[in-house]
Amino acid sequence: MNLTEWNARLHGLVIFRALLDDDVIAKFVDLTDRMTAASQSTGAVCDAAASFEAALFEHTTNFGEYLSAAVLEAETVCVRQAAVSEVPPVLQTALDNELDFLRQLCSLTLDELLDAAGAADELPFLPRWETKAIDLHAAYAQRMSEVGKKGYGMFAKHHVFTVENGQLVPVRYPDPQRLDELPGYEQEREKVIANTRALLAGMPANNVLLYGDAGTGKSSTVKAIANEFAADGLRLVEVKKNQLYQIPDLMDKLAANPLKFILFIDDLSFTANDDNFAALKAILEGSVGGRARNIAVYATSNRRHLIKETLSDRTGDDIHEADTRQELMSLSARFGLTVTFQRPEKARFEVILTELAKQHGIEMPHDELLTKAEAFAIRAGGRSPRVAKQFIEQCAAGVQK
């Protein structure tokens, strides 16, 4: 394949068109553009080659490894089609042809490019990127078979997302919380874990309300579950209350994705006249479209019924006061599973303290540890796993002695 063909095939990508938006690959295309230009100059080619290598070396020194990873993670029409049905013959042929071309590209060196441009002896001072021969056909077929666990596009690179202007945005540095770092509420968490396993297995899964006192690990439980099951195809989408109206459109897109999603709403509560109240009711089960089987809503709240009520709400002038109260309580009833996280009694608090002390390597007599932790909890407003963790972290930092 000569230089003009390399350049034309790059610009003619159809299935893997999205690769051209990748910064490193875009700079490689620019390099071939400069080399094939009728008025090419050594300076322009040198600048393009250096720019490409600088971008590549930020990730790896091996172009074959970088390109193959980009190919396997790319969101394409073929991988979306394969997730729901057979890939049409026209698309399959195009896919095979482009994979064959990209396989050859993984092994292409700078010297081979310069030789194809008739400039084999030029730019000897530039570093040479490494290459890697890879069977992209086999690797891509394997990835297609695992798309329900590894995902594609940004879902292959990230497992936690937020919502901005109705679009998913990856969280590059999510909370690394693990389940084995959360002692004391194993029985409560097991219900949520079992529901998550059902979601991953494609079985009917409930929307979950984690309700209870502040600092008892409700949010940490959801984040830890997302980390625990990321490799099994679970993705977490954190949604703020004022974004709920944007979620129906987003759910329609996620419903066609082979991965499983938790829509996570933290610290949820409403006032009686809150417009977001009706939006969440529709998301949970009230819309005509029904619920997607690969999506569940997990919400945390310090309020069992989610609605802030006042005494005047109960003694107001509403003629059908009972109907109104039923309406207000109907939201929490739409969560099929409610798990209560109560403030720990003394025995559970001591279990949590002991386990956290082990995790952090705290060497302190047990009785002294418990006595100081109780005093710390009183000053902090009461016992909770959060208070226990704060105390242990202060001990590890040398603040508590």
- 29-74 pLDDT, tens per residue? 999 999 998 677 888 889 999 999 999 999 999 999 999 999 999 9
Q: Residue 355 class from Cβ within 10 Å (0-12 exposed, 13-18 middle, 19+ buried)? A: middle
Neighbours of 196 (CB within 10 A): 23
Higher pLDDT: 288 or 24? It is 24
Q: What's the CA gap between 232 and 234, in Å, rounded?
A: 6
Choose among 378, 381, 384: nearest CA to 345. Answer: 384
Neighbours of 129 (CB within 10 A): 20
What is the average pLDDT value for the chain, to the nearest integer?
A: 87
Helices 63-73 & 136-145, crossing angle to 10 degrees?
30
CATH class of 160-178+186-338: alpha beta
**217 in the Ramachandran plot: left (φ > 0), alpha (ψ -120 to 50) or beta?**
left
Q: What's the CA gap between 305 and 318, in Å, rounded?
A: 20
Q: Which of 208-212, 244-248, 365-369, 394-398 has the lowest mean pLDDT?
A: 244-248
Taking 70 as the threshold, does the pLDDT of residue 322 lie above it?
no
- 63-106 pLDDT, tens per residue? 999 999 999 999 999 988 887 778 899 999 999 999 999 999 99
**pLDDT above 70 as % of the chain:** 88
Q: Is 117 helix (H, G, I), strand (E, B) or coil?
A: coil
> Which stretch, 71-85, 115-129, 187-201, has highest mean pLDDT?
187-201
Q: What's the CA gap between 302 and 308, in Å, rounded?
A: 11
- 150-163 pLDDT, tens per residue? 988 899 999 999 99
Q: What's the CA gap between 254 and 138, in Å, rounded?
A: 27
Per-residue confidence (pLDDT) for residue 378, from 0 to 100: 92
Residue 374 pLDDT level (bands cut at 50, 70, 90) = very high
Q: What's the CA gap between 327 and 60, in Å, rounded?
A: 57
Q: What's the CA gap between 195 and 295, in Å, rounded?
A: 12
φ, ψ (nearest 5 deg) of residue 343: -55, 135
Contacts of 114 (CB under 8 A, 6+ apart): 120, 122, 123
Higher pLDDT: 262 or 269? It is 262
Taking 60 as the threshold, does the pLDDT of residue 222 lie above it?
yes
Per-residue confidence (pLDDT) for residue 386, from 0 to 100: 93
Residue 311 pLDDT level (bands cut at 50, 70, 90) = very low
Per-residue confidence (pLDDT) for residue 84, from 0 to 100: 74
- 225-258 pLDDT, tens per residue? 999 999 999 999 999 988 888 888 888 888 889 9
Strand order in the sheet with 295-301: 167-170, 160-164, 234-238, 260-265, 295-301, 208-212, 337-341
pTM of the model: 0.82
Asked whether the beta carbons of 207 and 296 are under 8 A apart, the reply is yes
